[in-house]
Amino acid sequence: MKREILLGGILIAGSISAQTQGIVKKSKQPSKPNIIYILADDLGYGDLSCYGQKKFSTPNIDKLASQGIRFTNHYAGCAVSAPSRSSLLTGLHTGHTPIRGNKSVEPEGQWPLPAGTVTFPKLLQQAGYKTGAFGKWGLGYVGTEGDPNKQGFDEFFGFNCQSLAHNYYTDHLWHNQEKILLPENADHQTGIYAPILIHNKAIEFIDKNKDNSFFMFYCTTIPHAELTAPEEYIAKYRNKFLPEKSFKGVDSGPRYRQGPYGSQPEVHATFAAMVTLLDDKVGEIVAELKKLGIEKNTIIIFSSDNGPHKEGGADPDYFDSNGPLKGYKRDLYEGGIREPMIAVWPGKILPGKTTDHVSAFWDVMPTMAEIAGVKTPAGIDGISFLPTLLGGKQPQHEYLYWEFYEMGGRIALRMGNWKAIQNNITAVPKPATELYDLSNDQGETKNLASSHPDIVKKMEALMKSSHTPSEVFTFSAKAINE
């Protein structure tokens, strides 16, 4: 049964106090390594200074890159949140994974992962891990079969609904089945910045499980629109990114803080502030691991769920958020789906490495299973990238495949360095397939389809064979098979 409770400043103060009490007892070292997977929200390939960001820096995340391995050909599961996360958790690309689009349900939340779905957090639970998710869920409302507590997580704290996760000064969050009311944010107040509250709960989870093997899914909402941050972070960048840009959003009425984005008079300063806050919180996670003496038995992976957005006034072109890549969130061009990924595991992953291994979200499940010493389920699309992390011989994908169900339907496939894209596939007539050679055109500027009809034909055949029908998320059958 769901319960509503009040929670706010007391929890924050208590959490901060618990984090600052000087010397703590070092934890025992469990036999299996701890795993922390940090997933940013709408962070572009070029939004980190270790991936080329020039206007501001991300020193804590950069330090992770210098201490571990940085991937340059890693891909999200899709170009928007829910299907990307479904792909991540199930080891299946969007032609196979249960959730293939953003589909809301009443009263609050998104279409649920079905009962019986095999997720890698469930595998880790079976291997004896304590599991927690902190941030944004978006894969099933509280109490449904998609509830995070039914999909492999012992503890969840954050936004269940990805639409409500648009707003950072929300009136409530969820702790498992408890609705946590935040009266400090009532009546236009800005008493509690949700990502900080969620972060403090994540730190508590680490502290509570320091003597166990644990998996923490740190699925932050930053830097997704709306654009807002605590004043002390915005002040660091005020008047530094001129000409500044403003955005007029929804600041009152029945839909205020119910999904629509609020106004922001300092878009550039606020975006930099949000990424800086995220970087600081990553640094605090690392510091907590060191304080507890468990950093050497913990693998940290950092990535993002899709490319940079243009919502809520965001200005990705100003920050070159997609770096050398074409496209944004909702595009299946490289800028919409190629993501930063960094992995650190002291004593296991050699520091300062960069790899061009081609990998994707559906590879995370078999990687986690191999790390935990459990069997990978049959029939998944992923291939473990643990050999790349540890310097071993790495099996390669024949191809990677994506579907996207908005904007007329989009399909993409990467085979080696060839990238094929079909846009607006439900149109009549359907636009021709585009073909790019990423080995010398990662910006996808030159369509080579007319000069390589044999390659286009082969990739179109792979596109057709990669799609299995879904009763919930549907292209027209004619569009997918023509």
Taking the CB of residue 206, how many other CB atoms lie within 10 A of it? 22
- Residue 359's H or E segment, with its range, is strand 359-360
Q: Which residues pair with 437 in a beta bridge?
A: 418
Q: What is the pLDDT of residue 24?
A: 47
Domain parsing of the chain, residue ranges: 3-397, 407-481
Identical fold at 3-397 and 407-481? no
CA dist., res. 157 & res. 132, Å (int) = 8
Residue 299, SS3 per DSSP: strand
pLDDT digits (tens, 9 = 90+) for 295-333: 999 999 999 999 999 999 999 999 999 999 999 999 999
Q: CATH: 3.30.1120.10, 3.30.420.40, 3.40.980.10, 3.40.50.720. Which one for 407-481? A: 3.30.1120.10
pLDDT digits (tens, 9 = 90+) for 87-105: 999 999 999 999 999 999 9
CA dist., res. 165 & res. 28, Å (int) = 36
Entry pTM = 0.94
- Residue 9's H or E segment, with its range, is helix 9-19
Taking a C-beta distance cutoff of 8 angstroms, is the pair 257, 305 a contact?
Answer: no
Q: What is the pLDDT of residue 1?
A: 43
CATH class of 3-397: alpha beta
Q: What is the pLDDT of residue 31?
A: 82
Q: Which residues of the chain have pLDDT under 70?
A: 1-29, 476-482
Q: Is 439 left (phi over 0), alpha (psi -120 to 50) or beta?
A: alpha
- Which distant-in-sequence residues (6+ apart) come within 8 Å of 232 by Cβ? none
- Which distant-in-sequence residues (6+ apart) come within 8 Å of 208 by Cβ? none
Taking a C-beta distance cutoff of 8 angstroms, is the pair 109, 141 a contact?
Answer: yes
Q: What is the pLDDT of residue 226?
A: 95
